[in-house]
Copies of this chain bind each other. A is one copy, B any other.
């Protein structure tokens, strides 16, 4: 197979927030595949990208389900790599489910599973499916092929009553570090982003943070710019981890 000369990107976990901004940002440079559990999460973004002259394909899959992920990627590869000969330039794991705050003795095994499913298991399935394509793109991709992972405060801190969520997020960070160390030397850039603050999305509009001060919530477009920067870093100068937080955030 000839090495790819043109490239696409995949964003897993799109909705109204960071995922949408990531999709729009990467769509400026690549056709993008949007992965979410249901079309209601990606349909509007696909339209928005097309209206702006970009290319987008929505695919439904629950990333915590290995069979569903495998089947989705068969479709994606057939469509993007097979028919069109594109290479995968960037894969972003931005799945955010599993969040919850509960006293530990009220937390259930299924709360823990929800976090483990959408976090380490989902990333595991996603990485299994995307890394072979990313490796294929190494020789010809204009930027180092990238696997970019969204973390949270709970990736680095197990706060009281955040146990189940933090377990999932720490596990994602562990897996991301391990992949960075294994696939970095093969040319794939694996980076983890600790998003430390409330994101400024419609769902959070009633949630008053940092005293309601302007820019006290994180702009999802600003997050997307940092992911784009990570993707375009030269291979001699990879970032493995960075944090993002509002200027007024306590940390």
Taking Cβ atoms with an 8 Å cutoff, the residues of A that contact B are 66, 103-105, 107, 109, 112, 116, 120-121, 124-125, 127-128, 131-132, 144, 154, 157-164, 166-185, 187, 189, 197, 200, 215-219, 221-223, 225-226, 229, 233-249, 251
**A166 pairs with B174, CB closer than 8 A:** yes
| Cα distance A161–B184 in the bound complex, in angstroms | 12
| Cα distance A238–B125 in the bound complex, in angstroms | 31
Top 5 closest A-B pairs, CB basis?
A158-B177, A222-B237, A163-B178, A170-B174, A222-B234
Q: Chain A: interface secondary structure?
A: helix
| Cα distance A107–B125 in the bound complex, in angstroms | 11
**B120 pairs with A105, CB closer than 8 A:** no
**Which listed residue (B170, B176, B239, B247) contacts A242, Cβ 8 A?**
B239
**Which listed residue (B167, B177, B242, B251) contacts A166, Cβ 8 A?**
B177
In the complex, residue of chain B having the shortest beta-carbon distance to the beta carbon of A249: B184
**B185 pairs with A158, CB closer than 8 A:** no
**Which listed residue (B132, B160, B178, B187) contacts A181, Cβ 8 A?**
B160
Residue numbers in B under 8 Å from A164 (CB-CB): 124, 175
**B163 pairs with A167, CB closer than 8 A:** no
**Which listed residue (B103, B160, B171) contacts A120, Cβ 8 A?**
B171
In the complex, residue of chain B having the shortest beta-carbon distance to the beta carbon of A184: B247
Residue numbers in B under 8 Å from A112 (CB-CB): 120-121, 124
**B167 pairs with A174, CB closer than 8 A:** yes
| Cα distance A43–B179 in the bound complex, in angstroms | 41
Q: A124-B163, A237-B245 are in contact. List 16 more A-B contacts (CB 8 A).
A: A103-B182, A104-B178, A104-B179, A109-B125, A158-B176, A161-B178, A170-B174, A215-B236, A222-B233, A226-B233, A226-B237, A226-B239, A237-B246, A238-B244, A238-B247, A242-B243
**A222 pairs with B246, CB closer than 8 A:** no
**A241 pairs with B238, CB closer than 8 A:** no
CB distance from A69 to the nearest CB of B (A): 10
**Which listed residue (B116, B124, B197, B200) contacts A171, Cβ 8 A?**
B116
Most buried by B among A121, A162, A185, A197: A185
| Cα distance A3–B103 in the bound complex, in angstroms | 24
Residue numbers in B under 8 Å from A173 (CB-CB): 158, 170
